[in-house]
Structure 1
């Protein structure tokens, strides 16, 4: 069972990334972690990002320690651009859409090496601020993720995700096999209550952790402001070879028709 020791994040702040500099630090952290893990080859810009990162509904969460971004995670509510993993799991995601479910994908998760291995404390704090933010602003009925097959059990048995796909090769590297999982945002709290309410150890009681306020988490009282156009253009220019022209055109069209968070 995972444990959460909040003393291990003393001095850290978990919050939304809201500036160009914070987003760039996040994209570079993702790049370096993914390259180091063999998931991707190095990019010319030293960044790893998605076009959905620039949509006003999308949110990037960061862990900051002594002025340095040491962890990151992103949430992508559905949009006309679709979800990043539509490339692999569109049939499964479309099945949820057909039920009238609003879905959001979680991904782009990375933690600096020296901050890992804390019994799940870092990733649980990242999960917590993301779930609280999306729940507060009613952005999704279902959270979907794509994870390596060997990691799926953690999300299923610890957090209450359910599997919605078969095994498929990861789109970036065929060496990794992945599955899609779904979390019912309306049933998440009940799952935690049933599973952990009788767990006596504070560090292992995830229901208690998700229910109480964490001093290291700064949850904004408003939805994030849309990213300035000049910042979007900066990232597109820095990553000019990363996206086909038609996808960039689709992003611009989406931004022009939906400039503010819903």
Structure 2
């Protein structure tokens, strides 16, 4: 069997074992960008539960996990909600490159800078979590689809993601990401190992057609990402904001001390968006933080 045929066989087998075609043809979740406080809380709670369960983060009384990058104006925190129970079953965030950079700059800035110098506009797929059942994990396909469409609408040319070695098969074989870094370790996540993976959005449709057209289940994947229209497609471009000011204050100042712990550049940038000098209490908090 040729290498190409082996890869087609592996891709088809992985799709069917994971019940991906079933989940893409029979709707299992509804997806949305978080806009209300309780929606962000559901996403951040799921992140905490899953990251804590696998030992990436310590116990915290707030039982929330989030990052400064999720508060950036062009970021979108997305959740998939079970149609059966209404519970949030998976979440992920898209962070678009800006003057404060991307989360993975902490390890891979030299690699991401190469994309910037080539005139590319990168964005990062980050803060992924899903409940452990197969249908919840497959809900990430719906999240990836809508975040991909949002990225395209913002002129993004490349998606990057830091991937644990045990998950590389999913991203490389099924989503067609390519590994672009050596193995590195995240100090803030208890030295979790990760590779930086990249998906070129300029030729992504062609690559999916080449990878998936050789077998009939693959057409389901091609249609899902590029041809069909889903209800959420109508509002993706009209959702014009990420967090509102009171939501930022609640998570980063009132509920936790996350703002005080931020890198100065990020703190300055977010303060210019969410905090007003006329508010004395917030001004004091800002001075303490910086």
The 5 A counterparts of 1:17-96 are: 17-65=34-82, 66-96=85-115
Among 195, 199, 224, the alignment partner of 1:209 is 224
Q: How many residues align?
A: 252
Match of 2:241 in 1: 225
Normalising by structure 1, we get a TM-score of 0.86
Cα distance between partner residues in 2 of 1:110 and 1:157: 19
Q: Which has the higher contact order (CA 8 A, sep 6+)?
A: 1
Residue 207 of structure 2 corresponds to residue 191 of structure 1: yes
Q: Highest CA radius of gyration, 1 or 2?
A: 2
Please say if residues 90 and 137 of structure 2, whose CA atoms lie closer than 8 Å, have aligned partners that are also in contact. no
1:64-115 Cα deviation digits (max 9, x unpaired): 12332221110000112211111111111111111111010001111123xx
Normalising by structure 2, we get a TM-score of 0.78
Please say if residues 59 and 74 of structure 1, whose CA atoms lie closer than 8 Å, have aligned partners that are also in contact. yes
Residue 268 of structure 2 corresponds to residue 253 of structure 1: no
Cα displacement (A) at 1:11: 5.5
The 5 A counterparts of 1:140-179 are: 140-179=156-195
1:14-41 Cα deviation digits (max 9, x unpaired): 1211111101110111011100111111
Structure 1 segments of 4 or more deviating over 6 A? none
1:95-139 Cα deviation digits (max 9, x unpaired): 1111111010001111123xx22496322222111112222x134
Cα distance between partner residues in 1 of 2:124 and 2:171: 14
Show structure 2 runs of 5+ residues with no match. Answer: 1-13, 276-290
> What RMSD over aligned residues (CA atoms) do the two structures have, in Å?
2.5
Cα distance between partner residues in 2 of 1:134 and 1:223: 13
Query: Secondary structure of 1:121's match?
Result: helix
